[in-house]
């Protein structure tokens, strides 16, 4: 059994900070459970292009408003609390944060420690 709190992770090597987002990696590949689980906070007023060619990602937005742009299909989706999106086709996407966004993300396979 693994029990962790955000407080346990904050300020450790399981927290990755960039100019646009902070990812707190609650579960990683070294936990040997086959997936990783992250709390990600995206700064208001930012536009973040992303692409995960090696992962499937499910995202559950719990706070904030913005937009998700699928750069492959040029489709825009509104992001609001309660929105889930699943990148099951390795889509190139951009997150536009109108306000601060807080979300929980699951990656498969699991993200290794120390990755961005």
pLDDT of residue 114: 84
pLDDT of residue 116: 76
pLDDT of 41-53, one tens digit each?
999 999 999 999 9
Question: In whole angstroms, how far apart are CA 114 and each of 15, 17, 29, 36, 70?
Answer: 9, 12, 11, 13, 27
- Domains (ranges, CATH) in the chain? 6-108 (2.60.120.10)
- Tally the C-alpha atoms within 13 A of residue 71's C-alpha that lie toward its C-beta: 13
pLDDT of 52-111, one tens digit each?
999 999 999 999 999 999 999 999 999 999 999 999 999 999 999 999 999 999 999 999
Question: In whole angstroms, how far apart are CA 99 and each of 53, 62, 81?
Answer: 27, 12, 12
Q: How confident is the model at residue 115 (pLDDT cuts 50, 70, 90)?
A: confident
Sheet of 84-87, strand order: 15-17, 21-27, 36-42, 101-108, 56-63, 84-87
Prediction pTM value: 0.93
């Amino acid at each position: 059994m693994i029990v962790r709190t955000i407080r346990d992770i904050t300020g450790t090597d399981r927290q990755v900070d960039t100019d646009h987002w902070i990812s707190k990696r609650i579960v990683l590949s070294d936990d040997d459970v086959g997936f990783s689980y992250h709390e990600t906070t995206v700064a208001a007023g930012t536009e973040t292009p992303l692409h995960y060619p090696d992962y499937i990602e499910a995202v559950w937005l719990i706070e904030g408003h913005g937009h998700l742009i699928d750069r492959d299909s040029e489709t825009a989706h509104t992001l609001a609390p309660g929105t889930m999106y699943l990148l099951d086709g390795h889509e190139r996407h951009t997150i536009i944060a109108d306000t601060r966004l807080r979300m929980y993300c699951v990656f498969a396979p699991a993200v290794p420690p120390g990755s961005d």
